[in-house]
Chains A and B, each alone.
Chain A
């Protein structure tokens, strides 16, 4: 405990390229980029699958399958296979981001799909009966109704990405994970514990931020969300 406070209270650890703010910035940057890419893939695909009902099995199997893949192994394989084809920092960063995206897509896809799939069929029918086109039904009715579950998926994905970005430090990229990995290498438990504490706080903060945004974005009519048990098991955040 003393080692932890000694590390955190040393001003030298709060400045420069290897300081805590810089590491935090890198961590957020990796996680943000990953989530943007993963959402750009997962949300449209999930909405489409939910809307058309095609490829449901794919979603269930993808989510369950990815949960069992050991992240650390995947990360190392990606760096060893993709890394040599790239130069400089990119040789480590690109494979790491790739793995993070691969991990983040399934929960987002599942959330978007389950959200649309669980829209009250009567609401959908009413919209059709009013003469709305397929696209209008999707964007005017299904998407707003799907937001709670869609956000649930994004939230799981965000937590998973923050956790896995920590592990990515073991393949020489930045982020808060560096404190953990470098601390391990130099047997500096204070540094490791400080990194671990910061990562845990970051994960909690990210989760809280998503909860707040969700509250702002989701229609109040859906707030006490009458949620039936999702057909897909809750996407587990913790695969890393």
Chain B
């Protein structure tokens, strides 16, 4: 406890970096997964290959992916960009399937009704299909957010500093306090992200709340 109070500033700055490294890939991954998931749904022949390839990417262990990134990107080994790109890959891997399945779960009758009302394809996607797929996509996003927070800490092993650095420092000095503080801060961050995504989902899907209330 006294260690924590003495190092508030350090923990806060590591927490901020950690959040940055976990959230940026989440947003990038979602931005990439939306068109890919749409494509997988639009062209059924592409569904299996897209889901299979992204699934394979997901099997690559994180530490290995962090280390291999410089070969692919030409970055330096210590560059935090490696972590961001690697986590974006994981997020896309997780979300492509979720987005495709979420869009696929929109009832055909709803689509027909929208078309009958004269809504064009593009507008139908943004105003009908996407909003109705939000609950499914958001469930996938929450899983991605929570596992991103956990994976980021591994990057401490390749020298990218964030909450995981508290683990490596504590371990090197045979000192539990920083490790425990790091674990708790990381859990809190995961919880906060999870709650934030749930909250945004509730805002984006007001009709679900109404149904719950009545």
Interface residues of A (CB under 8 A from B): 1, 4, 64, 67-74, 76-77, 79-81, 159, 162-163, 166-167, 170-171, 177, 180-181, 184, 189, 192-193, 195-197, 199-200, 203-204, 207, 229, 233-234, 236-240
14 sample A-B contacts, Cβ–Cβ < 8 Å, listed by A number: A1-B71, A67-B150, A68-B190, A72-B153, A77-B176, A159-B61, A180-B67, A199-B61, A199-B64, A200-B61, A204-B59, A236-B94, A236-B143, A237-B59
List the 9 closest A-B pairs by CB distance, nearest first. A163-B61, A196-B64, A68-B190, A196-B67, A73-B183, A76-B171, A70-B153, A199-B64, A200-B60
- Whether the Cβ atoms of A238 and B154 lie closer than 8 Å is no
Cα separation A129 to B179 with both chains bound (whole Å): 56
Further 19 A-B residue pairs, CB within 8 A, beyond A64-B146, A196-B63, A196-B65: A69-B183, A70-B153, A72-B156, A72-B164, A73-B164, A74-B183, A76-B171, A77-B183, A79-B171, A162-B61, A167-B63, A180-B64, A181-B157, A184-B157, A207-B56, A229-B101, A233-B140, A238-B61, A239-B147
Taking CB atoms, residues of chain A closer than 8 Å to B70 are: 189
Q: Which residues of B contact A195 (CB under 8 A)?
A: 64, 67
**Which residue in chain B gives the minimum CB-CB distance to A198?**
B64
CA distance A228 to B127 in the complex (A): 27
Q: Which residues on B sit within 8 Å (CB–CB) of A197?
A: 64, 68
Tell me if B187 and A68 are in contact (CB < 8 A): yes
Q: Are B182 and A240 in contact (CB under 8 A)?
A: no
A184 to B159, CA, bound (A): 9
Within 8 A of A (CB), among B118-166: 139-140, 143, 146-147, 149-151, 153-154, 156-159, 163-164, 166
Q: Counting CB contacts under 8 A, is B77 at the interface?
A: yes
- Chain B: residues with Cβ within 8 Å of the partner, total of 50
Task: A73 to B151: give the CA distance in the assembly, Å.
Answer: 11
Q: In this complex, what residue of B is CB-closest to A160?
A: B61
Q: Is the CB of A189 within 8 A of B170?
A: no
Q: Write out the residue numbers on chain A whose beta carbons fall within 8 Å of the beta carbon of B157.
A: 72, 167, 170, 180-181, 184
Give the residue name and chain of the B residue nearest to A229 (CB): B101
Inter-chain contact B153/A73, CB cutoff 8 Å: yes
- B168 to nearest A CB, angstroms? 8
